[in-house]
Amino acid sequence: MKKTVFLIAAILVMSFSLGVAQQNVAEKLGYPAHTKLLIVHADDIGLAQSVNDATLTAFEKGGITSGSIMVPCPWFADFAEHYKDHPDLDVGIHLTLTAEWDVYKWGGVLPATEIPSLLDENGNFYASVEEVGQHADPLEVEKEVRAQIDKAIAYGITPTHIDTHMGSVMAKPELIEIYLKLGLEYKTPVFVPRMILLGMPEEAREQLKRDYVLVDNFFMMNTEDPGLSWAEAYGQMIEKIKPGLNVMIVHVAHDNAEMQAITANHPAFGAAWRARDLEYVLSQDFRNILEKQNIQLVTWKQIKEVM
Amino acid sequence: MKKTVFLIAAILVMSFSLGVAQQNVAEKLGYPAHTKLLIVHADDIGLAQSVNDATLTAFEKGGITSGSIMVPCPWFADFAEHYKDHPDLDVGIHLTLTAEWDVYKWGGVLPATEIPSLLDENGNFYASVEEVGQHADPLEVEKEVRAQIDKAIAYGITPTHIDTHMGSVMAKPELIEIYLKLGLEYKTPVFVPRMILLGMPEEAREQLKRDYVLVDNFFMMNTEDPGLSWAEAYGQMIEKIKPGLNVMIVHVAHDNAEMQAITANHPAFGAAWRARDLEYVLSQDFRNILEKQNIQLVTWKQIKEVM
């Protein structure tokens, strides 16, 4: 589960850097060129009531600046309804092509007949990004993710950005193309890690740098137990933040019966694990280290406005 | 919400009786002819984690004898997985054509393109039985409810009976025909209240009595606040039980955040309301009155075996 993201995150957390910090993003936003910008981003809105409630708490208390919603999930409409009264929430679309939990499943927002290559024998999304890569017809992916964005917009959400659950719409090059194209078409920032440039020919790299605000670095808790306290583990990641655009991805939820049942057999990204993420972003420890490291919190909406 | 069932229930609770008690059911099951048989039935399995957990508690502690599952709902697979290790649970299919909560929605198990007449503009089932009656194409209903039964069977469930959420597959005569037909085809008892005979011509009545084990009486809590304690209100209903086949329908859940969010704005059938149903079926009060009234608890499986 989440292996692709794990891999990318692991590489980045190991202080990998291309050394081409995108210093003008800060200036575009009105900050000095060398500002360490940080989006604190909650993934998986819409997954569960527990996640929605924890995310709203984190938004209200300033623990996160941004989040993204899984449109095909059971609790999408609940959050969308809340959003109607809180349209300033910085919410993007967490494009989803996987259903990774053992017994809590979903399929696409399109009819199963239109996206057969995305669904398993029970009509649910595949559990892993690897299976998406193997089976997904890019034409069906494009229809489905477009439908996810359009459904969110139809429910009244103005997405501030587009990203993708477990990196599923980056499972193979043809899908990355779709992912990038949608950002331009919807005039909405796309979460594109700068490291994606690595595998590209020169011309494509230049175009990407022209068309997108690239994420210089992103990090997340990615093990069941970091062997340190949550504050120490995040502290080490935050101390490595460099000038440029950084994204800290968190997965907040309450440790309750609903979330325990969804995440059964998955201690990493489980209910207690996610509750620790919530506790951390609300903590004084987090405030203190952000201040000590001179980190400037920003939102995807700010980036959308200067795109 | 649940208006059709309310109406039928209200009529029956008001001691309506056709006076044609089906005394041979008891004998078929091996009890004396005038036994008061009672199925204590939990509706809405699969609706939520809270409902699944409460239902399993009620099964384990003997508070219910039977229940039925909503195949299109988000927590279907969770219960189905549990069932694999507990195949003796008396579980039927709660055929579902409505999605009645404000922000927690679902559509059919079939692709939306195959059942357009069953779905609203967001691709969800309609909220009310009235809308189902207005819009539903019987051919699409038949395909969808058949798919619900088949999906449950594919997941390993052997249904002991078939009933229908909010009475939705009884929304109009053409749908009742489908509902009855499925029982014969799947060789599975169908929840058919005896009062259905009222509107039928003589020949159809005779055939129905030959082909089905009719439910002589059923009752449920059907108001937000009965003006009495839960035990007193159910006590009055239970005291009216007559010889024949009776069904007491309960809606059990825990009063927790998930259930509160699902049932927001619906105090009747809400989270606290359902927790009172759970508390009651587990109570000594319930045991005592069943004993005092000489009521024999039975299951749908017993009825299936003598059909």
Q: Who contacts A173 (Cβ-Cβ below 8 Å, separation ≥6)?
A: none
pTM: 0.86
Closest residue in B to A112 (Cα–Cα): B111
DSSP chain B: --HHHHHHHHHHHTT---S---HHHHHHTTS-TT-EEEEEEEEEETS-HHHHHHHHHHHHTTS-SEEEE-TTSTTHHHHHHHHHT-TTS-EEEEE--B--SSS-----SS-GGG-GGGB-TTSSBBSSHHHHHHH--HHHHHHHHHHHHHHHHHTT---S-EEEGGGGGGSSHHHHHHHHHHHHHTT--B--BGGGGGGS-HHHHHHHHHH---BSEEEE--SS--SS-HHHHHHHHHHT--SEEEEEEE-----SHHHHHHTTT--TTSHHHHHHHHHHHTSHHHHHHHHHTTEEE--HHHHHHH-
DSSP 3-state of A242: coil
φ, ψ of residue B187 to 5 degrees: the values are 50, 45
Cross-chain residue pair B113–A109, CB shorter than 8 Å: no
Is it the case that residue B73 has pLDDT exceeding 80? yes
Residue B307 pLDDT class (50, 70, 90 cuts): confident
Task: Please give the Cα distance from B13 to B219 (Å, whole number).
Answer: 6
- Chain B partners of A47 at a C-beta cutoff of 8 Å? none
Average pLDDT over residues B135-162: 97
Q: Kindly state the percentage of chain B with pLDDT values over 90.
A: 84
- Chain A partners of B103 at a C-beta cutoff of 8 Å? 77-78, 80-81
Is it the case that residue B300 has pLDDT exceeding 90? yes
A32 in B contact zone (CB under 8 Å) = no
**A99, A127 in Cβ contact below 8 A?**
yes
- Chain A partners of B256 at a C-beta cutoff of 8 Å? 256-258
Q: Where are the alpha helices (DSSP H) in chain A?
A: 3-13, 23-28, 49-60, 76-84, 129-135, 138-154, 173-185, 202-211, 230-239, 257-262, 271-281, 284-292, 300-306
Among the listed ranges A99-113, A145-159, B16-30, B249-263, which one has the minimum average pLDDT value?
A: B16-30
Residue A204 pLDDT class (50, 70, 90 cuts): confident
Write down the pLDDT at residue B68. 98
Cross-chain residue pair A104–B80, CB shorter than 8 Å: no
Closest residue in B to A122 (Cα–Cα): B151
Give the single-character DSSP code of A32: -
pLDDT tens digit sequence for A207-229: 999 999 999 999 999 888 898 99
Average pLDDT over residues A37-47: 98
Rounded to a whole number of angstroms, the distance from the CA of A112 to the nearest CA of chain B is 5
End-to-end CA distance of chain B: 33
Task: Please give the Cα distance from B25 to B33 (Å, whole number).
Answer: 8
**A93, A101 in Cβ contact below 8 A?**
no
Has the ipTM of the complex gone over 0.90?
no
Task: Please give the Cα distance from A206 to A185 (Å, whole number).
Answer: 19
Give the single-character DSSP code of A193: B
Is it the case that residue A7 has pLDDT exceeding 70? no
Write down the pLDDT at residue A86. 96
Closest residue in B to A101 (Cα–Cα): B78
DSSP A88-129: TS-EEEEE--B--SSS-----SS-GGG-GGGB-TTSSBBSSH
Residue the block writes with tokens 């039925």: B68
**Tokens (6 digits) for B150:** 């088949």
Closest residue in A to B73 (Cα–Cα): A74
Write down the pLDDT at residue A24. 85
**Tokens (6 digits) for A55:** 């995310």
Cross-chain residue pair B75–A104, CB shorter than 8 Å: yes
- Closest C-alpha among A222, A2, A229 to residue A96: A2
B258 in A contact zone (CB under 8 Å) = yes
Q: Which amino acid appears at position B200 of this protein?
A: M
Is it the case that residue A305 has pLDDT exceeding 70? yes
Residue the block writes with tokens 């009719």: B214
Which of A104, A106, A257 comes nearest B53 by C-beta? Answer: A257
Rounded to a whole number of angstroms, the distance from the CA of B186 to the nearest CA of chain A is 21
**Tokens (6 digits) for B100:** 């009645």
Cross-chain residue pair B49–A257, CB shorter than 8 Å: yes
Cross-chain residue pair B103–A80, CB shorter than 8 Å: yes
Task: Please give the Cα distance from A127 to B211 (Å, whole number).
Answer: 44
Please state, in angstroms and as integers, the Cα–Cα distance from residue B150 to each residue in A165, A226, B124, B161, following that order: 31, 45, 20, 13
Residue B203's CB is within 10 A of a number of other CB atoms, namely: 8
**B26, B32 in Cβ contact below 8 A?**
yes
Widest pairwise Cα distance in chain B: 54
- Kind of pairing, strands B36-45 and B66-69? parallel
Cross-chain residue pair B257–A50, CB shorter than 8 Å: yes
Among the listed ranges A44-58, A191-205, B228-242, B251-265, which one has the minimum average pLDDT value?
A: A191-205
Residue B200 pLDDT class (50, 70, 90 cuts): confident
Is it the case that residue B21 has pLDDT exceeding 50? no
Cross-chain residue pair B111–A106, CB shorter than 8 Å: no
**A155, A184 in Cβ contact below 8 A?**
no
**B69, B90 in Cβ contact below 8 A?**
no
Residue B27's CB is within 10 A of a number of other CB atoms, namely: 13
pLDDT tens digit sequence for A115-140: 999 999 989 999 999 999 999 999 99
Among the listed ranges A261-265, A302-306, B52-56, B201-205, which one has the minimum average pLDDT value?
A: B201-205
